[in-house]
């Protein structure tokens, strides 16, 4: 797929992976609609990009009514969309005794319900382009049950089910759907700080860099023979089975 002038909507655009992916896609000449909770971070990111037609929208994905409104705003501003990338999410890593209902609702609203609302809301805009794509960011926690991460796993298992089911639903039409089942990455996402992860890396724990992930994702997006799911773990991710990144 030639990405020049493609209209790309990115949620979670100011996160660790999101920011680097936006920078890589900017090199391809895409036109962005960047979405995040922080207007300040969005405006700062926008200033670093070469494209002149890029825009941003602010949305709190923990609030379903804001995501519904976001879908309506996008439909009012755009005639069609080429790519939707759902990156927004939070990492709730707690034993169930410590998980609050707010933790649970925020996790599912941000990481599962929001991609559902947004995809459903703008699906007609995606149908208008023959190469359109919805790319969702999964996790090893969406495949492997993990103690102390029941909330996060539930969200990622659900996103995996949603993405793969929609891939079947739209198998003979557009848009295409793709899930990235990704291993640990050097960002501040989750309960560990970036500094703590770097310390673990020095002790032998394997992490991807967000820059590497961004380049990998752009390659997947551009691939005309794209698969529905990619499983990408660092070499010693620690679960006994993994696929080496290509």
Cα–Cα distance, 184 to 178 (Å, whole number): 19
- Specify which residues 231 forms β-bridges with: 181
Catalytic pick among 56, 93, 152, 230: 152
Which residues have a Cβ under 8 Å from the Cβ of 241 and sit 6 or more positions away? none
- Specify which residues 33 forms β-bridges with: 9, 55
- In 3-state terms the chain splits into helix, strand, coil percentages (rounded to 5) of 45, 15, 40
Residue 89, both tokens: 């999410």
Contact 17, 214 (CB under 8 A): yes
Please calculate the CA angle 20-109-131 and round it to the nearest 5 degrees: 50
| 152 classed as catalytic | yes
CB burial of 147-163 (b: ≥16 within 10 Å; e: otherwise) equals eebbbbbbbbbbbbebb
Active site residues: 152
């Amino acid at each position: 797929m030639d990405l020049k002038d493609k209209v790309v909507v990115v949620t979670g655009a100011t996160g660790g992976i999101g920011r680097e992916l936006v920078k890589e896609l900017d090199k391809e000449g895409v036109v962005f609609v960047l979405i995040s909770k922080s207007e300040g971070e969005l405006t700062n990111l926008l200033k670093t990009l070469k494209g002149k037609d890029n825009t941003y929208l602010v949305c709190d994905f923990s609030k379903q009514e804001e995501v519904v409104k976001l879908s309506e705003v996008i439909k009012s501003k755009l005639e069609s969309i080429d790519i939707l990338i759902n990156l927004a999410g939070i990492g709730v890593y707690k034993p169930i005794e410590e998980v609050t209902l707010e933790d649970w609702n925020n996790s599912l609203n941000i990481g599962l319900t929001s991609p559902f609302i947004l995809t459903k809301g703008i699906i007609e805009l995606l149908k208008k382009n023959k190469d359109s794509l919805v790319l969702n960011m999964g996790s090893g926690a969406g495949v492997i049950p993990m103690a102390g991460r029941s909330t996060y796993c539930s969200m990622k298992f659900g996103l995996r089910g949603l993405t793969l089911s929609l891939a079947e639903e739209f198998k003979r039409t557009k848009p295409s759907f793709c899930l990235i089942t990704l291993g640990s990455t050097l960002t501040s996402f989750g309960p560990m700080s970036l500094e703590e992860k770097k310390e673990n890396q020095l002790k032998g724990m394997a992490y991807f860099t967000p820059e590497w992930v961004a380049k990998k994702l752009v390659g997947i997006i551009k691939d005309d023979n794209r698969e529905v799911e990619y499983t990408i773990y660092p070499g010693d991710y620690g679960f006994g089975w993994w696929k080496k990144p290509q």
